[in-house]
Amino acid sequence: MQPVNCAKRDDGGLGLIELIIAILVSTIVLAGIATVLFNSWLTQNDVLSTSEATTRGQLVSSQIERAVRNATDFKTEASETQLWVHTVYDNATGTDPRTCQAFDLGGGKAQMTRTAANLGTAAWTTWIDDDDQQWVVNVRATDGKPMFHQDGRVLSYAFEIVTDSAPVKFEGEVSMRTAATGGDPCWLP
């Protein structure tokens, strides 16, 4: 029989405490990585939302300014969310000697219509809708200001588009360049 040597034992593996510590450290590192990725995803959504709102707001603002600059007459509705514009222009074909445009920024939507007839019967086209847009949530008045305000031949506008982060504000003032050329405005029957 051979003597048993108890002094020599093989302890080459991981112990339970070492395994628990390795799992704990790995969990902390993975949680940190997950937090960074999640915050990056949220930041990307905020940037996309703001970019989308900025693009759409600039489109609406430029269309309003172009219409008023070329207008022979315009009016704001009592609710101050609608703007109606009458423009006479030279058409090369000689047809449709007037253009009637209306803008509506009420009810969380930005809408526009264009017609050669009375604006009261025209169909609206929606640019921004709080129901249809993935990032743009709502069009609303800026800090209690009226969306449209008329002072003679000058129009002031102010609106903001609510996004996933801070709202994007649009304000401006534009005046008519054209002298009134007569004719019935688009809102008269």
**Are 181 and 113 within 8 A, CB to CB?**
no
pLDDT, tens digit, 9 for 90 and up, residues 18-42 = 899 999 999 999 999 999 999 999 9
The DSSP symbol for 120 reads G
Query: Is the pTM for the entire model greater than 0.75?
Result: no
Arithmetic mean of pLDDT over the chain: 78
In this prediction, residue 79 carries a pLDDT of: 75
pLDDT at 52: 83
| C-alpha distance across the termini of the chain, in Å | 121
Amino acid found at 12: G
CB contact at 8 A, 93 and 77:
no
How far is the CA of 37 from the CAs of 17, 24, 44, 138, 164, in angstroms? 30, 20, 11, 28, 18
Place of tokens 């339970």: 16
Q: Rounded to whole angstroms, what are the CA distances from 188 to 61, 70, 123?
A: 26, 19, 17
